[in-house]
Chain A
Amino acid sequence: MSAYPLAAVSFVLFTLAAAGFLTCGSLVRMLMFLELMLNAANIALVALGPGTVSQAYAVMLFAIAAAEAGVGLALIIALAPVFKTLEAENIRELKG
């Protein structure tokens, strides 16, 4: 089996997630697509990297993805009652 289909699967997943991230306006959905982009990068790492080393890096990426989701959702939960919206377009002022 060629390595190309594995790379193509991860690239297609990454692109679909990137398209969702760029086109949707809701903060929660953007964070969901961001997680899927990380997931696609993880697939590429496991599929194309050298055996055990790439899997070790993938485990570390899991932890980073979990930390990112935790902080991101906490930010969203803190921002939502203040701005009364979850649309990124309506949140224009974050400082000052």
Chain B
Amino acid sequence: MIIAAAVYLFGGLAALATLLMLFQRDPVKAAMLMLAALLSTAGLYLALSAQLLAALQIILYAGAIMTLFIVALTTTPAAWRDKPAKASFTKVLGLAAAAVILTELLKLSAALKTAAFSRAFSETGTLELARALFGRFAFQFELLSLVILASIVAAVALAASSGKPAVQPPAEKKEAA
């Protein structure tokens, strides 16, 4: 009963924050709403007895990734962040596509109505997860370090401000041609 209440509470909070993000014009306020959605998700993980995931969600998503977004917003001038009015047709098309996605997903998951979520709240989930990550999934887990290393190298190469820019402006290319 408590788990069900927590799922509804944190799921509702995350959905509300994401919905408000859709209508928020200020990108920094949108980032704060995203932070609220990510923290609500961490609560959802706690309700599902995934304590390590909840901690990782706060450290990685709400900490590291949100910091990256804030840095990206502060390093780009505000004049480039202004939003011109987009064609309403595109918005209607996007919302219609999202509605179709939701309808199809809910239709496909109708079979879950009879499936019971019977997992009891456990405090030893982290130990089992650690055993799985460093035992059964050790190779895959170590491969992830290569992914992270590649992304760090790519990010540093792309964002290095010294020297010539990584991306050439199209106008200059035309002149050179």
Complex interface: chain A residues within 8 A of B72 (CB): 28, 73, 76-77
Contact call B102/A69, Cβ cutoff below 8 A? no
Complex interface: chain B residues within 8 A of A75 (CB): 158
Given contacts A43-B41, A70-B151, A85-B80, A28 and B69 within 8 Å (CB-CB): yes
- Interface residue count for B (Cβ, 8 Å)? 91
Contact call B169/A62, Cβ cutoff below 8 A? no
Contact call A77/B27, Cβ cutoff below 8 A? no
Q: Mark B83-97, 1 if CB is under 8 A from A, else 0.
A: 110100011011101
Contact call A83/B169, Cβ cutoff below 8 A? yes
Closest Cβ–Cβ distance, residue B74 to chain A (whole Å): 11
Contact call B53/A58, Cβ cutoff below 8 A? yes
In this assembly, does B162 line the interface, its C-beta being within 8 Å of a C-beta of chain A? no
Contact call B50/A46, Cβ cutoff below 8 A? yes
How far, in whole Å, are A32 and B98 apart by their CA atoms in the complex?
A: 17
Contact call A39/B76, Cβ cutoff below 8 A? no
Complex interface: chain A residues within 8 A of B112 (CB): 2-4, 7, 48
From B18, B60, B159, A36 is in contact (CB under 8 Å) with B18
Interface residues of B in 64-80 (CB under 8 A from A): 64-65, 68-69, 71-73, 75-76, 80
Contact call A13/B18, Cβ cutoff below 8 A? yes
From B69, B75, B132, A32 is in contact (CB under 8 Å) with B69
Complex interface: chain B residues within 8 A of A69 (CB): 65, 68-69
How far, in whole Å, are A17 and B97 apart by their CA atoms in the complex?
A: 12
Most chain A CB inside 10 Å of its own CB: which residue of B19, B119, B154, B158: B158
Interface residues of A in 54-86 (CB under 8 A from B): 55-56, 58-60, 62-71, 73-86
Contact call A52/B44, Cβ cutoff below 8 A? no
Interfacial residues, chain B to chain A (CB-CB below 8 A): 3-4, 7-8, 11, 14-15, 18-19, 21-22, 27, 30-31, 34, 37-38, 41, 44-45, 48, 50, 52-53, 56-57, 60-61, 64-65, 68-69, 71-73, 75-76, 80-81, 83-84, 86, 90-91, 93-95, 97-99, 101-102, 105-106, 109-110, 112-117, 119, 125, 128-129, 131-133, 136-137, 140-141, 144, 147-148, 150-152, 154-156, 158-159, 165-170, 173
Known contacts A21-B94, A28-B73; 19 further A-B pairs (Cβ under 8 A): A2-B114, A13-B18, A19-B94, A22-B98, A23-B22, A25-B86, A28-B69, A36-B21, A36-B34, A46-B50, A51-B125, A55-B52, A60-B144, A66-B60, A74-B159, A78-B165, A82-B165, A82-B167, A89-B84
